[in-house]
Amino acid sequence: MYEAIFLVSLPVLVIGFVWVTYNGLVTLRMRVKEAWSDIDVQLKKRYDLLPDLIETVRKATKVDEDILTKVTELRTKAMEDASKGLDPKVRGQVESQISSALNGIKVQVEAYPELKSHTELNNLMDKVTEIEEKIAYSRRFYNGNVMSYNTKIKVFPNILIANTLGFNEEIFFEAEESEKADIKVSF
């Protein structure tokens, strides 16, 4: 009698475990995709703001033209990468360069005390700062979801199901070394 119950309940338990684990993995993978989408939204806002910022900075200051040209080129490349759907590692490299260049612009603009009264420029710089903070938060949120997902697919016995059903490790959005370095600006 107990043998029959065991033979019936064992497959039910195994199927239930696979079902619950699979649904959990799918949920975590969708959270990673949603978090990446949140980063994309913030990056799009930054792309839209950059032309206005560059033009206003050109009019208001004598900021190094090379930095403005670099930001414009990086914006174009980043938008191309976004349209190609490239992975976070590839996109992260360009995005880090944009962040670094924007920090260079901020430092140069701050060196001109007479710009404190330039309302349009100050508003744009505030928007850039706000968007950069949202991007940083979105990156942390994305990386947190990636960590949860990657951990879930690596622990036993989930790894057996994840490998069998094609759940692959996701890539973290990491800062480039150039973004971690101090900003050097010369006048």
| Position 118 in a domain | yes
Q: Residue 183's pLDDT is what?
A: 42
Q: Residue 33's pLDDT is what?
A: 92
CATH number at residue 83: 1.20.1440.20
| Position 60 in a domain | yes
| Position 186 in a domain | no
Whether this model's pTM surpasses 0.75:
no
Domain with 161, as residue range(s), is 2-178
| Position 185 in a domain | no
pLDDT tens figures, 23-33: 999 999 999 99
Q: With 50 as the cut, is the pLDDT of residue 182 above it?
A: no
| Position 123 in a domain | yes
| Position 187 in a domain | no
| Position 25 in a domain | yes
3-state SS of the chain is CHHHHHHHHHHHHHHHHHHHHHHHHHHHHHHHHHHHHHHHHHHHHHHHHHHHHHHHHHHHCCCCHHHHHHHHHHHHHHHHHHHHCCCHHHHHHHHHHHHHHHHHHHHHHHCCHHHHHCHHHHHHHHHHHHHHHHHHHHHHHHHHHHHHHHHHHHCCCHHHHHHHHCCCCCCCCCCCHHHHCCCCCCC
| Position 135 in a domain | yes
pLDDT tens figures, 37-96: 898 888 888 888 888 888 877 776 666 677 778 888 888 888 888 888 777 777 888 888
Mean pLDDT of 100-105: 80
Total domains, the chain: 1
